[in-house]
Amino acid sequence: MKSLIASALLLCLLLSGCVGRSAEYSNRIYSMDTVVDLTAFGPEAKTAVAAAEAEIYRLEALWSVGYADSDISHINRDGIASVSEETAVLVSDALELYGETGGLFNIAVYPIVDAWGFYSGEHRVPDPGELETLLAVTDPAGITVKNGMVTLPEANMAIDLGGIAKGYASAAAADAMRAAGIRSGILSLGGNVYAIGTKPDGTPWRVGVQDPSDTASLVGIISMEDEAAVTSGAYQRFFEENGVIYHHIIDPRTGRPSDSGLASVTVVMADAMRADAYSTALFIMGKEAALSFWRETGGFELVLVEASGAVTITDGLRDRFSPNTAFEVAKR
C-alpha cells in the first residue's frame, strides 16, 4: 500500500525585498505531526522564534495522541482524566464547535480515523460493518468537562484534537513571539499560517493557497495582516488503494473520507483555532453549505477549490486575492 503525505500546505511567500531591512531569523522544526516554519523580524527575532518553538512543543506534549503521557492520551486510555486548564478549555470549545458546525466538526471521530490507519500509518479500508460499530461511539454529546476533569461516557470512545490543535498552537506561538517584542513575523504549521503584523516594509504578508491538483503551484495569493489562513484539503494526508484515494477528513455521518466535491477549503480569520475547526467542517459541508454557513455566521472569509478545479472566493477577499486562475466571487 502506498502512503503519500503532501508536504507544505500553504506557502509563505517571503519576498526577497523584505529581507535585510530588519534582522530576520527563521527556523524549521517538526512538531504536531507536521513541518513548522517560524520567521520573525526585529532585534529579538532569534529569542522570539525559540519562544514560539517551546510553546508548540509544550502544546504537542499536552495534546498529541502519539504521546502516552499527553492529556489526550490519559483521557482516551482511562475514560476520565484530570487535565490542564488549557486542555479543558480547548475540549469545551471543540464540543461547542460540534454544535456550531451541525455535528461535522467532531473530536470523537478518533476511533474511525484510527480504523483507517491514519495514526499508525498502517492504512486500510475498514468494512461497512466495522464502521457502523465505530459510528455508535462517536457521539460527543455525553462528553463532560467539569472541574478540570474530562469524562468520556463510553468505554470505546476516544477524542482527537488534530482538527483544531494546530490552529490554536499557531496563535499561541504568535503570542509568544509578540511577548518577545515581535511586530512582524509569519508562522506555518502544516496548513495553518498565522501572520503577525505586516512585513517589515509595512505591506501585508502574502500567503499562497496551493493548487490541490498540483501542490507546486498556487491558485492565488492572499494579503494578510494579524490573522490566520487555515487550509484543509484532501491532498494533505491520504493513501491510495486499488486506484481509490482515501483522505484523512472523515465525514462523521458516514465514517468515510468526506466526498463533498471540494478539494480544499481555506478559512481566513483572526481566530486561528476557530479557523482550523471551520476549515475541517466546511470541507465536509461542500461548497453550497459552506457558503451558506459563511453568510449566516460571518467573521471569516473563504477560498474554496472544487475537485473540478473551480475556485470561489468570498466577497471580503475581493481586494486582497491575487489570482493565478479564473475564479468566482460569492456575495453575502
- Using CB under 6 A, list all residues that contact ligand AMP: 104-107, 109, 113, 118, 160, 162-163, 191, 232, 237, 248-250, 252, 276, 279-280, 284
**What is the closest distance, in whole angstroms, from the C-beta atom of residue 164 to Mg ion in the complex?**
6
Of residues 92 and 324, the one with the C-beta less far from ligand AMP: 92
Q: Could you tell which of Mg ion, ligand AMP, none binds residue 109, using a CB distance below 5 to 8 A set by kind?
A: ligand AMP
**What is the closest distance, in whole angstroms, from the C-beta atom of residue 252 to ligand AMP in the complex?**
5
Q: Could you tell which of ligand AMP, Mg ion, none binds residue 162, using a CB distance below 5 to 8 A set by kind?
A: ligand AMP
The contact pattern for Mg ion, residues 258-297, with x = CB under 5 A and - = no contact, is: ------------------x--xx-----------------
Question: What's the order of all strands across the beta sheet hosting 10-13?
Answer: 10-13, 205-211, 214-224, 321-323
Number of neighbouring beta carbons within 10 Å of residue 312: 17
Report the alpha-carbon distance of residue 2 to residue 24 in Å, rounded.
39
**What is the closest distance, in whole angstroms, from the C-beta atom of residue 180 to ligand AMP in the complex?**
27
Of residues 49 and 62, the one with the C-beta less far from Mg ion: 62
Residue from 210, 196, 256 nearest 48 by CA: 196
Q: Could you tell which of Mg ion, ligand AMP, none binds residue 107, using a CB distance below 5 to 8 A set by kind?
A: ligand AMP
Is residue 191 involved in binding Mg ion (CB under 5 A)?
no
**What is the closest distance, in whole angstroms, from the C-beta atom of residue 20 to ligand AMP in the complex?**
35
Report the alpha-carbon distance of residue 264 to residue 213 in Å, rounded.
10
Of residues 260 and 279, the one with the C-beta less far from Mg ion: 279
**What is the closest distance, in whole angstroms, from the C-beta atom of residue 232 to ligand AMP in the complex?**
3
Q: Could you tell which of ligand AMP, Mg ion, none binds residue 97, using a CB distance below 5 to 8 A set by kind?
A: none
Of residues 106 and 170, the one with the C-beta less far from ligand AMP: 106
**What is the closest distance, in whole angstroms, from the C-beta atom of residue 274 to ligand AMP in the complex?**
12
Of residues 163 and 197, the one with the C-beta less far from Mg ion: 163
Is residue 31 involved in binding Mg ion (CB under 5 A)?
no
DSSP string, 45-110: HHHHHHHHHHHHHHHHHHH-TT-TTSHHHHHHHHSEEE--HHHHHHHHHHHHHHHHTTT-S-GGGH
Report the alpha-carbon distance of residue 246 to residue 193 in Å, rounded.
25
Of residues 51 and 230, the one with the C-beta less far from Mg ion: 230
Strand, coil or helix: 175: helix
Contact 32/187 with Cβ under 8 angstroms? no
Report the alpha-carbon distance of residue 42 to residue 101 in Å, rounded.
40
Report the alpha-carbon distance of residue 316 to residue 227 in Å, rounded.
14
Q: In angstroms, how far is CA 176 from the centroid of its own chain?
A: 19
**What is the closest distance, in whole angstroms, from the C-beta atom of residue 264 to ligand AMP in the complex?**
10
Q: Could you tell which of ligand AMP, Mg ion, none binds residue 113, using a CB distance below 5 to 8 A set by kind?
A: ligand AMP
Of residues 198 and 280, the one with the C-beta less far from ligand AMP: 280
User: Out of 42, 163, 190, 212, which residue is the one contacting Mg ion (CB under 5 A)?
Assistant: 163
Of residues 23 and 125, the one with the C-beta less far from ligand AMP: 125
Q: Which residue has the cell 490519559?
A: 74
Question: For residue 298, what are the contacts with CB-CB under 8 A and spacing of at least 6?
Answer: none
**What is the closest distance, in whole angstroms, from the C-beta atom of residue 166 to ligand AMP in the complex?**
7
Question: For residue 288, what are the contacts with CB-CB under 8 A and spacing of at least 6?
Answer: none
| Sign of the alpha-carbon dihedral angle for 93, 94, 98, 104 | positive
Question: For residue 216, what are the contacts with CB-CB under 8 A and spacing of at least 6?
Answer: none
Instruction: Report residue 79: phi and psi, to 5°.
Output: 80, -10
Q: Which residues bind Mg ion (CB under 5 A)?
A: 163, 276, 279-280
